[in-house]
Each structure stands twice: as C-alpha cells, then as structure tokens.
C-alpha cells in the first residue's frame, strides 16, 4: 500500500484501528473491513463458477480483511433460487478453489449459510410438498409460482433443519472457510422465526428460540475453529415487523448463546427490500433483467416502495441502539461511503465494518482509503448492481462495468 500515490495530492486521515489486525473469535483478521454478503448471481445451476471465484479473489486483492460468499444453502430445498450455491459434498472441490484464491490474496473467507424457508422459488421441492416456515397457511411469495401454501415446521423438522445447518458448517470448514455467517435476516427461514410477520409467538425471546438453537449447535460443531457470525435485520421496514426493543432482546439472546459477532443489516426481501439498501430500487432495470417469474416480483416493488433519498450511515439510528444495549462484537452495515464514515463507525463503538455496493463499484477501495488516495467512494447508490444480479452476467457495477477477465467462463 505504501507504493500507491495519493489522489489529487491529498493525504486523508483514516482511523488506524480500521487497518490494524484484530481478533474475531478464533480468527485473526488483517483489518476490520469485511465484504458483506451480496447475492453474486454467479452460481449457474448451483455450481461455484470461475466468475464467482474471481469475484471474491478481487475483493481479497482489494484489501478487505474478509470476504463473504453469499447465500450458501444448507440443503437443496433450502435454496431460494435454482442458481444458488448449495453446501454439499459435490460443491466441496470448487469451494476449496474459492477459499484458496482468497487466502492467496491475504484475506479470510466467510460462508454465509442459510435456508430460504417459505421464501422459495424452486420449481420443485425434493423433501416435501410445501416449504417450511414458522407458521403454516398461505404463502404470498410462493403464489408467484403457484406454490400457494407453506407448512409450519414440526419439532422433528426443527431438529432436521438444525442438523442441516451443522452439516453445512462442517463442510464449510472442510472447504477452507475461516468463518460462517448464519443468515437470520431479510426474510429467510431463521428470519421468519424471528419476525412477528411470520411467527405468532408474542415474545421476541420465544421467537428467537429456534435461531438460537441453530447458533448453539453450529458453535458446538465448529466454533473452536471458525468465527461464527449472525446477520440480522435490525429494522424490517414493515409496520408489523420487530420493534427495536424486540431486536435488542434478540441480540441479547444470540450474545448469551456465544455468537462471535452480529452483522446488523435491515429489511425483508419480499415485504421491504428497499430498507436493505436505504433508498429506492431501479424497478424498470430489475424488471428488464429479471427472468420469468421474477418479472412480476420486480413490478410489484414499483407499486410499494417509498421515495427515500440515500443517506450515508442510514442504519445508524437503529444500530447504535443495539450497540448501547449489548457487549458482543458488532459489524456495522449500511451506507459507509468514505474514510470519515469509517472513523465515525469505529468511534461509535462498532468492531468492524461490512461494505457492499462500494466494493462492487471498486474492490480496491480499502487499499485506496488506507493509502489516503480518495475521500469517498464513487458509488452513487443507484442500485443497478442489485438489478444486475438477475442478469446472465451476475452482479456488477453499471458505472465501472468491469469486463470478466480473459480465461474466466461460466463453467
């Protein structure tokens, strides 16, 4: 980094703590910047493609401490889409190729493990007729493909699902991952248990019972070897979603269970996806890029999303409430766009910083910031990268539009 020349001759003061090595559970990281899990759209037929490997190698080469492979399903029925990585023995060699590529660039690799539950657009399920959720009955997301109903998970189902999370965690360890991020946000299965939108349990602690069970089982299986994180929606963006008081209670439950860090995200994929990104989504582009059944989903968003301008650090009002209530390490996510934002987040007591769109725009941003090369990201939060995840090419920045390197293919 010392060889990089400053942008416009300016040297910017960046908090030294952001670039110092630190400890996350059993894992040592070279800095506190993490590439957050963002759907890459590059797992053709559930395979780990060369493009997916290169995507994360570039993130590692750009200087993050850790990069996160998004949406690794713990079972084939746990996928939301057909083109989603499934953690099984068949994918192990290619997952190992991905972690080797990341490690060669000096970064750690994290696998985000998840189960879609009722948020499932697979044409056919292998284990059961209806997808599982915290509550049975009508399934609004599934109606878009003619799957009208979901089934409440039984005690036996919960034990089976817990075993699937544990098996996926062990396979991730075998594949060379250094950390796991259990996805408990955005409307996936564990989020469906946490949220009053899906779970009729009146108390947040009761709703957290199954997600906590999964966390404890994963920690027992791999917690001595891998850092185990949980990703949560601190605000769901829906009037019937969790309150901030509910989320504080849920975070305390996960802290007591022994999570190494919580990643504080927001929103629900179906009910309020714009809350995830802090501003409106480009519906026309999403509809144009979407294939088949995803077109009506994108069109539906156009009718519902509010007009809300993007603001840096847009999740700070909720995340700071969590920071004041728990002692567990926390990763701040949401609108970090400049070195000043990095300094402000660390000064507010957060332990690491999860970056998404700004790294899709420029994977080298951590190196630029550490060298004092530029004051702010060139990302405009246009969210066209969100639309691109549905395209044949996968997630990329519409502004920089970097071509796929020669020699890389869909295979």
| Res 170: pLDDT | 98
Report residue 10 as tokens: 């300016």
- By annotation, the residues acting in catalysis are 188
- Write the class of the CATH domain 7-388: alpha beta
Tell me how far apart the alpha carbons of residues 327 and 43 are, in angstroms, rounded to a whole number: 37
For the segment 86-90, the average pLDDT, to the nearest whole number, is 94
The pLDDT confidence band at residue 70, using thresholds 50, 70 and 90, is: very high
pLDDT digits (tens, 9 = 90+) for 218-250: 999 999 999 999 999 999 999 899 999 999 999
Q: Is 324 exposed, middle or buried (0-12, 13-18, 19+ CB in 10 A)?
A: exposed
The pLDDT confidence band at residue 287, using thresholds 50, 70 and 90, is: low
pLDDT of residue 405 exceeding 80, the answer is no
The pLDDT confidence band at residue 410, using thresholds 50, 70 and 90, is: very low
pLDDT digits (tens, 9 = 90+) for 140-166: 878 777 788 999 999 999 999 999 999
| Res 372: pLDDT | 85
Count the Cβ atoms, other than its own, within 10 Å of residue 283: 18
Residues 6+ apart with CB under 8 A from 185: 191, 231, 232, 233, 265, 266, 267
Lowest-pLDDT range, 23-32, 269-278, 301-310?
A: 301-310
| Res 38: pLDDT | 96
| Res 306: pLDDT | 80
Average pLDDT for the chain: 90
What residue segments make up the domains of the chain, in order of their start?
Answer: 7-388
Q: At what angle do helices 209-222 and 244-257 cross, to 10 degrees?
A: 30
pLDDT digits (tens, 9 = 90+) for 72-82: 999 999 999 88
Closest CA to 317 of 278, 365, 343: 278
For the segment 93-100, the average pLDDT, to the nearest whole number, is 98
Question: How many H-runs (helices) and E-runs (strands) does the chain carry?
Answer: 15, 13
| Res 299: pLDDT | 63
Share of the chain above pLDDT 90, in %: 74
pLDDT of residue 46 exceeding 90, the answer is no
| Res 123: pLDDT | 87
């Amino acid at each position: 980094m010392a060889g990089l020349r400053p942008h416009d001759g300016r040297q910017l003061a960046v908090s030294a703590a952001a670039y110092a090595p630190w400890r996350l559970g059993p894992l040592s990281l070279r800095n506190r910047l993490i590439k957050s899990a963002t759907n890459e759209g590059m797992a053709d037929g559930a395979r780990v493609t060369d493009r997916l490997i290169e995507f994360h190698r570039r993130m590692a080469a750009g200087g993050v401490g850790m990069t996160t492979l998004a949406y690794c399903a713990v079972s084939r029925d746990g996928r939301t889409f057909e083109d989603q990585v499934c953690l099984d023995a068949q994918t192990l060699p290619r997952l190992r190729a991905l972690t080797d590529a990341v490690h060669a660039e000096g970064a750690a690799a994290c696998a985000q493990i998840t189960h879609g539950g009722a948020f499932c657009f697979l044409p056919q399920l292998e284990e059961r007729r209806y997808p599982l959720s915290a509550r049975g009955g009508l399934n609004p997301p599934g109606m878009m493909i003619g799957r009208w109903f979901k089934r409440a998970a039984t005690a036996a189902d919960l034990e089976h699902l817990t075993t699937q999370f544990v098996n996926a965690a062990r396979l991730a360890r075998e594949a060379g991952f250094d950390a796991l991020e259990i996805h408990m946000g955005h409307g996936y299965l564990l989020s469906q248990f946490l949220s009053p939108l899906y779970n009729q349990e009146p108390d947040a602690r009761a709703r957290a019972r199954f997600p906590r069970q999964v966390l404890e089982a994963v920690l027992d299986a791999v917690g001595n070897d891998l850092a185990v994180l949980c990703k949560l929606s601190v605000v769901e963006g829906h009037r019937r979603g969790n309150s901030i008081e509910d989320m504080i209670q849920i975070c305390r439950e996960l802290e007591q269970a022994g999570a190494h860090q919580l990643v504080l995200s927001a929103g629900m994929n179906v009910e309020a996806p714009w809350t995830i990104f802090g501003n409106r989504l480009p519906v026309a582009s999403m509809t144009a890029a979407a294939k088949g059944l995803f077109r009506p989903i994108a069109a539906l968003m156009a009718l519902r999303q509010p007009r809300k301008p993007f603001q840096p650090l847009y999740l700070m009002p909720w995340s700071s409430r969590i920071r004041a209530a728990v002692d567990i390490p926390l990763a701040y996510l949401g609108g970090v766009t400049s070195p000043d934002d990095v300094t402000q987040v660390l000064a507010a007591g957060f332990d690491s910083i999860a970056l998404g769109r700004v790294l899709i725009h420029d994977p080298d941003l951590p190196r630029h910031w550490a060298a004092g090369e530029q004051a702010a990201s060139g990302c405009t939060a246009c969210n066209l990268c969100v639309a691109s995840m549905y395209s044949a090419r996968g997630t990329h920045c519409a502004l920089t539009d970097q071509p796929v390197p020669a020699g890389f293919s869909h295979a």
